[in-house]
Amino acid sequence: MAVFAEGTPCWVDVQLPDIEAGKRFYGELFGWTFDPATGEARIDGKRAAGLVPKRDGRMPTTWTVYLATADAGVLAGRIKAAGGQMVMEPYPVGPYGVVALAADPGGAVFGLRQGGERDDGIQTHMEPGSFCWMEVYTREKDAVDTFYAAVFGYVAQDLAEGDLDYRIWSPPGSRPGDDSSFGGRAVITDAFPAEMPGHVLVYFAVADTDAACAATVEMGGRITNEPFDTPHGRIAVLTDNQGARFAVLAEPADGKRGRAARKADAEEGAEEGDGAKGATGASADAGTDAGTDGSKAGTDGGEEDDRTETAAESVTESAAEQAPGTTREAPAPAEPAKTAEKSAEKPDDMT
C-alpha cells in the first residue's frame, strides 16, 4: 500500500453529468483506460483518477483534489479550529477508507482521504496523463497561508515578483522548495473578475501542450487560457466538453533534470513572471458554480449512508453531496507565479 504524507495530494476525481462521454474525452486526451469494476482511470494499469457521476444538476462540474490524512475526523477538527469549514463531514467508504470535503478560509474546496484496507490512491505522477500539481487561488492570502500551515504543517517558500505573489508548499519535514513540493498558493488580485471565488486548480502532465489543446477543441472542449511557456514547461488551461476546468503542463526538453533543478531556474526566471500556473481564469467559472451550489452539502450529508457500492461511487457521492459555497478546479507541477498574470490578461475567457 502506498503511503502519502499528511496533507499531500493522493487522489483526484471529476464530477460529470455523463460518465461515458467523460471516458471518451479523457481516454482520447490522456490515453486513459478504465477499470470495469471501479470505473477508475488508469495509465499502463496504474490508478490515475476517478470519474464520478454528478447526481444533482445543481452541483458543479469540476475536478477535486484529495489530500491524504491518517485520521479524517481529527483533521476535520483542525480544519474548523483553523477557520475552515467542512463541506461534507468524514464519510466511510468501506475498504477504501474515509472521504470528506472541506473549504479553506478563502472558500477553496478540497477533499480529504483517509486510506482503508485497500490502497486506492494515485499510482502515477508527473507522467503524461497523470496528476502533477495543485494550486490554491485566494483573495484571503494571510488567512489561507496561516490555515495551511496550522492544519497541515506545510513547509513554504515564497516566490514574489512585482504584483505576483506565489507560495510553494512541501510536506512537513522537507526542505522548502526542494523536489518534494506538490502545490502552491496564488493570490487573486484586482486584475481578475470580482466574482471569481477562491478555488483549487488541478494540473495534468502531457507530452505536448499544443496537441492537448487541439485535441480538446476537436472533442468539443475549449481553451480557457492559450498555451504559454514558463521555465518549468508549457502550460494551458482547458475546459472539457462538459464544463470541467483543468490545466495541462508539458515539461521542457530538459525536464529529466528533476524538479529541484527546475526550481533553481524558476527563481532566476521569476523576473519573467513564470509561476502560479496560469490556471486561475479557467477555474473561475467552476468556482462560481460551486459557490452557488454550496449550501446543499450539509443537507445531503445524511443520505450518504446508503451509498457504497464501489470506491468510485462512494467518492462520487461524497463530492456530489458537497458544495457549500466552495469552488474547485484543476492543478500543475511546482512553479513560481506567472500563470495568474496570463489569466488576468484574458478576462473575457472567465465567464
User: What per-residue confidence (pLDDT) applies to 248?
Assistant: 98
What is the reported pLDDT for 59? 86
Q: What pLDDT does 255 receive? A: 54
Average pLDDT of adjacent 10-residue blocks, the chain of 351 residues = 85 96 98 92 95 89 96 97 97 91 98 85 92 96 97 91 83 82 92 89 98 98 94 93 97 58 36 36 37 34 35 37 33 38 40 30
Q: Which of 158, 65, 68, 179 is nearest to 116 (CA)?
A: 68
Task: Write down the pLDDT at residue 161.
Answer: 64
CB-based contact 214:256 (threshold 8 Å): no
**pLDDT recorded at residue 331:** 33
In this structure, how many other beta carbons lie within 10 angstroms of the beta carbon of residue 229?
A: 14
Q: Cβ atoms within 10 A of the Cβ of 119, count?
A: 16
Task: Please say whether the beta carbons of 232 and 141 come within 8 A.
Answer: no
Sign of the torsion formed by the C-alpha atoms of 281, 286, 292 and 294: negative
Place of cell 464520478: 52
Q: Given this model, what pLDDT does residue 219 score?
A: 98
Find the farthest-apart pair of alpha carbons in the chain and give their distance in angstroms, rounded: 54
User: What pLDDT score was predicted for residue 2?
Assistant: 63
pLDDT at 267: 34
The set of residues, in sequence order, having a beta carbon less than 8 Å from that of 290 and lying 6+ positions away, is: 60, 62, 109, 197, 199, 323, 325, 326, 327, 328
pLDDT score of 106: 97
* Residue 26: predicted pLDDT: 98
pLDDT on residue 208: 97
Name 65's bridge partners.
Answer: 12
